[in-house]
Amino acid sequence: MTTTAALIKRIRSEVGDFGSPFVDTFLGGDELSSYDLSEIGVANATVTVTAGTPPVGVLLVPGTDYVLDVGEGRIVLINPAYAPLHHGQSLRVEGRSQGLFSDADLTMYITDALNQHTYGRTITTRYRDEHGFIRYDNQPITLASLPAVEEPLVAYLAAINVLWTMATDASTDPDIATAEGTNVHRAQVYQQLMQHIGTATTGLTGRYNQLCEQLNVGLNRIEMFTLRRVSKTTGRLVPLFKEREYDDTALPQRLLPPVDGEEYADESGIPSPWLPGVWG
């Protein structure tokens, strides 16, 4: 059984988005209550104000003493005892940045990847109900029931989607050429990202597809369907029922496979005759 935290750790390893620790120290001057940190996307921080002789550190409480802007990497002191930061006081902020993507962002990518990778698949469990009859229960695959061999595949697919987001951002960066002869080929970042994403047989996409083919999972897996039959007497589709085990005592379950061709439906509204050639 995998967890979201384990997949986030694997995805950060795949895309190289680990974040970095930081320690910032600010000296008071009875002027500022807001300070920009050296990192953005701050995951967590420990904030301490030191003052007095000898110096004594006071651990600040988030929401009461300060407000932390996670995305911008800015801390705002709101307690009048420290806002603004007085002479002789020093503010120390220690924490770690999340990198380009926050844990909430990567959780969204994991949800999308899991839905795509396990689309149309369920896990069937066999049990005996309170009346002693054998029943079968079909539940969609979740992270808790995802087979261990497929955990890397969900991480790969989520990493591919993350790289596509990075490539979309890099695609808007133009090359820079100055009069002094300095040339910055910023489009090369986009090209490298697209090469790493790859095609159906190359890059990270090819790596994902190859493993999916070996396990017959994912959106491109081989599936077996039952063809619909049309009654020769009524011209209507013959109903289909889900196949059951020999000891399954549940009621038959009706199947409704999709029928293509609705774009050719007659929208004229003219009724058809009961017997062809009689009228109409």
pLDDT for 277: 55
pLDDT at 269 over 90: no
Neighbouring C-beta atoms of residue 17, cutoff 10 Å: 19
Q: Is 31 within the bounds of a domain? A: yes
The last residue of a domain, from among 78, 97, 116:
97
In a domain, 170, yes or no: yes
pLDDT of 229 > 70? The answer is yes
CB 116 within 8 A of CB 212: no
Domain tally for the chain?
Answer: 2
Domain boundary among 175, 199, 215: 215
Whether omega before 258 lies within 30 degrees of 0, making that bond cis, reads no
Contacts of 208 (CB under 8 A, 6+ apart): 153, 156, 157, 160, 218
49 domain-assigned: yes
Q: Where are the alpha helices (DSSP H) in 147-242?
A: 151-170, 187-197, 203-215
Q: Are residues 90 and 116 in the same domain?
A: no
Contact criterion met (CB below 8 Å) for 74 and 128: no
| Residue where one domain finishes, among candidates 97, 118, 145 | 97
Q: For 18-22, 52-56, 153-157, which range has the lowest pLDDT when averaged over its residues?
A: 52-56
Domain membership flag for residue 235: no
State the average pLDDT over residues 207-236.
90
Burial of 154 (0-12, 13-18, 19+ CB in 10 A): buried
Q: Could you tell me if 107 and 208 lie in one domain?
A: yes
d(C-alpha 137, C-alpha 141), whole Å? 12
**DSSP one-letter code for 117:** H
State whether 113 and 200 are in the same domain: yes
Overall average pLDDT of the 17-32 stretch: 90
Q: How confident is the model at residue 51 (pLDDT cuts 50, 70, 90)?
A: confident
Give the residue numbers spanning the domain of 115: 103-215
Relative to beta strand 183-184, strand 176-177 is: antiparallel
More confident call, 14 vs 71: 14
- How many Å apart are CA 58 and CA 22, to the nearest integer? 19
* Rg for the chain, CA atoms, rounded: 30
Q: Is the pLDDT higher at 13 or at 19?
A: 13
pLDDT for 280 equals 43
Highest mean pLDDT among 67-76, 102-111, 268-277: 102-111
Q: Are residues 78 and 153 in the same domain?
A: no
Would 227 be classed as within a structural domain? no
